[in-house]
Amino acid sequence: MTGKFISIEGVEGAGKSTQLAFIQRYLSEQGKQLVVTREPGGTELGEQIRTLLLTPTTTGMASDTELLLMFAARAEHVEQVIKPALERDDWVLSDRFVDATFAYQGGGRGIDLQRISTLSDWTLKGLQTDVTFLFDLPVEIGQQRVLSRNEGIDRFEQEKVDFFQRIRELYLQRAQQEPNRIKVIDASKSIVEIELQLTVLLDKLLTN
């Protein structure tokens, strides 16, 4: 397969949406057939699960339930969208993938990482991103950005600062463990500076 699988990750307020649009535009300009998707979601069933997971009025959900719903949506996403796209030699760009589960449910919720790894192995069957761009910035800055949007906040965004601090730490831990796959982007920089960082990394991926 010549298609590449890219995901973007980061704590709330890291500017993923802005940079996803840039990556999509840049790869399209290079002539790549691109499938843009997201997690949780990406399929009709996945989007229904996303609504259940993110709706602020969903209260009292057990952490294990949250974890299993994430992987249920992911199993559908992989089989219905990601694998078929890669088999067509398309490129896939996903707003979050399995690293988010390690960070949010592992780091944030405190679920044992080995349990998440077991579910990951079972669900993904060896599938992994070619590169993951981790947009990193101090949690407090991300929180300020979320509040400045003047939009409703979802069930995760309602969590306290220490929840997101644990998420950030787990993300950075995974980046340290897998530096060839997970590329840390300083999301506190200007949009132009971030795009320059991304351009260098994308060009390397395009020539491999």
Q: Is the pLDDT of residue 176 over 80?
A: yes
Average pLDDT over residues 144-151: 75
Q: Which residues contact 110 (CB under 8 A, 6 or more apart)?
A: 63, 166
Domain 5-207: give its CATH code: 3.40.50.300
pLDDT of 5-52, one tens digit each?
999 999 888 888 899 999 999 999 999 999 999 999 999 999 999 999
Name every residue whose Cβ is closer than 8 Å to that of residue 10 and which is 6 or more positions away in sequence. Answer: 16, 134, 135, 136, 137, 142, 171, 187
pLDDT in tens, 93-111: 999 999 999 999 999 999 9
* Residue 194 in this model has a pLDDT that exceeds 90: yes
Rounded Cα distance, 144 and 139, in Å: 9
Residue 57 vs residue 62, higher pLDDT: 62
For 27-61, letters b (16+ CB in 10 Å) and e give beeeebebbbbbbbbbbeebeebbebbeeeeeeee
Q: Looking at residue 142, what is its pLDDT?
A: 84
